[in-house]
């Protein structure tokens, strides 16, 4: 006998705190699910998770993976006969789930309060600037010596501490996602399935290839380039800092130069495009914009621009401008990583491939469960 689902009448109000969620005109016609190029029989979104929120089925919604299967092409919203914006409702559910996975409660406060999010960014940025004032090296003014002002070993140790902190928050929140979606579900998951489906996780984590199934094929290419630039820049400044942050001026053909230029170029080009799209609101995906939709591209653009400024002042031989701009650069980049990656919208970068991975595992487990329940026909002697 199936267990009863406890209903929380306040659930839909809780969800609306995270964005646009207007299901009042929805009469469950299913048009959104039919038109979606990503849905199938085992993942009938947007209809099912929207319905769970509407009826107050809190536990099933908290364990739902379907919001992460949506890549927001906007087709469902443009075809909805009641104009209830199911695409944006799915975006709102992703914010709600991000906050639900976060055990610190900070994600919920950041999504629901501009004061909390902007205040946290300013506080972390001020802390980074304060550390730079206390622990910087000698200020050489007759020439640029960035590695003297900001010793690579010291900055590298700071980067590693930041990386370990980010890893702790990300993995602890991912554990909660797994717990709600996989452990508390009704399907028993054989451990072997986690191993056999690992290549799918790697594929979607690296390529976000599910974007290609949406209507706008070019959007996947843009997203892939933006993410590649972000990941490359992160690797250069955290993992390969000793090679990347140097006072040596390499020739243009050197890999250090063109890797940095590529990462900077795609970050600047595509963050500007995102911000222009949100200003013009011509595309369905930009029709609604919460603070979290603005902050990350703005911070990413400012990080890239200040990085360009550091590079430019260093080549022009302007020591003080180089040092001061470097502190500003770090005071923007660190808060962006510490606040937006584990607690903000950029968490989609790992929740989405994990959602596909866990959903596939649940599908396989259901198939195995169904095959075991089939009783073979008895042979007649």
pLDDT, tens digit, 9 for 90 and up, residues 229-250 = 989 888 888 778 777 777 777 7
Evaluate whether 352 touches 68 at the Cβ level (below 8 Å). Answer: yes
CB atoms inside a 10 Å sphere around CB 251:
7
Instruction: Determine the angle formed by the axes of helices 152-178 and 348-373, rounding to 10 degrees.
Output: 30
User: Can you give the pTM of this predicted structure?
Assistant: 0.90
**What token pair was written down for 326?**
């470097």
Evaluate whether 48 touches 334 at the Cβ level (below 8 Å). Answer: no
pLDDT tens string 101-141: 999 999 999 999 999 999 999 999 999 999 999 999 999 99
pLDDT at position 370 is: 80
Domain boundaries, the chain: 11-101, 106-365
CB atoms inside a 10 Å sphere around CB 26:
21
| Rounded (10°) CA dihedral 23, 24, 27, 31 | -40
> What CATH architecture applies to the domain 11-101?
Orthogonal Bundle (1.10)
The 3-state DSSP class for residue 40 equals strand
pLDDT at position 187 is: 81
Q: How far is CA 338 from CA 29, 106, 260, 270, 293, in A?
A: 42, 12, 22, 22, 17
pLDDT at position 219 is: 85
pLDDT at position 374 is: 56
Per-residue pLDDT of the chain (381 residues; tens, 9 = 90+): 345 678 999 999 999 999 988 777 777 788 888 888 888 765 578 888 999 999 999 999 999 999 999 988 888 888 888 888 888 999 999 999 999 999 999 999 999 999 999 999 999 999 999 999 999 999 999 999 999 999 988 988 898 899 999 999 999 999 999 999 999 877 889 999 999 999 999 999 988 888 888 767 788 898 899 999 989 888 888 778 777 777 777 787 888 888 989 999 999 999 999 999 999 988 888 888 899 899 999 999 999 999 999 999 998 999 999 999 999 999 999 999 999 999 998 899 999 999 999 999 999 998 888 887 654 544 444
Distance CA 109, CA 120 (A): 10
């Amino acid at each position: 006998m199936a267990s009863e689902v406890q209903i929380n009448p306040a659930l839909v109000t809780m969800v609306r705190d995270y964005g646009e969620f207007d299901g009042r005109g929805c009469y469950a016609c299913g048009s959104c699910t039919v038109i979606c190029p990503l849905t199938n029989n085992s993942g009938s979104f947007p209809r099912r998770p929207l319905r769970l929120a509407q009826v107050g089925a809190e536990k099933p919604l908290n364990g739902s993976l379907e919001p992460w299967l949506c890549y927001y092409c906007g087709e469902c919203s443009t075809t909805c006969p009641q104009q209830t914006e199911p695409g944006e409702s799915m975006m709102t559910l992703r914010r709600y789930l991000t906050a639900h996975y976060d055990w610190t409660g900070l994600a919920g406060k950041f999504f629901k309060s501009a004061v909390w999010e902007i205040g946290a960014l300013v506080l972390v940025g001020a802390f980074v600037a304060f550390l730079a004032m206390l622990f910087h090296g000698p200020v050489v003014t007759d020439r640029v010596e960035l590695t003297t002002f900001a010793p690579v070993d010291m900055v590298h140790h700071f980067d590693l501490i930041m990386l370990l902190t980010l890893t702790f928050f990300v993995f602890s929140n991912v554990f909660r996602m797994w717990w709600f979606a996989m452990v508390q579900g009704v399907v028993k998951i054989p451990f072997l399935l986690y191993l056999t489906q690992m290549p799918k996780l790697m594929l979607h984590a690296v390529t976000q290839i599910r974007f290609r199934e949406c209507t706008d094929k070019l959007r996947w290419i843009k997203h892939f380039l933006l993410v590649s630039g972000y990941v490359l820049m992160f690797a250069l400044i955290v993992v390969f800092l000793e090679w990347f942050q140097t006072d040596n001026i390499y020739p243009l053909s050197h890999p250090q130069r063109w890797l940095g230029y590529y990462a900077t170029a795609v970050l600047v080009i595509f963050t500007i495009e995102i911000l222009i799209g949100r200003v013009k609101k011509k595309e369905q995906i930009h029709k609604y914009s919460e603070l979290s939709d603005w902050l990350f591209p703005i911070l990413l653009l400012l990080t890239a621009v200040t990085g360009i400024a550091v590079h430019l002042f260093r080549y022009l031989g302007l020591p003080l401008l180089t040092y001061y701009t470097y502190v500003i650069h770090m005071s923007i980049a660190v808060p962006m990583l510490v606040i937006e990656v584990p607690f903000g919208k950029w968490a989609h970068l790992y929740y989405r491939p994990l959602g596909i991975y866990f959903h596939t595992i649940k599908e396989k487990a259901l198939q195995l469960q169904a095959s075991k329940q089939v009783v073979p026909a008895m042979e007649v002697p």
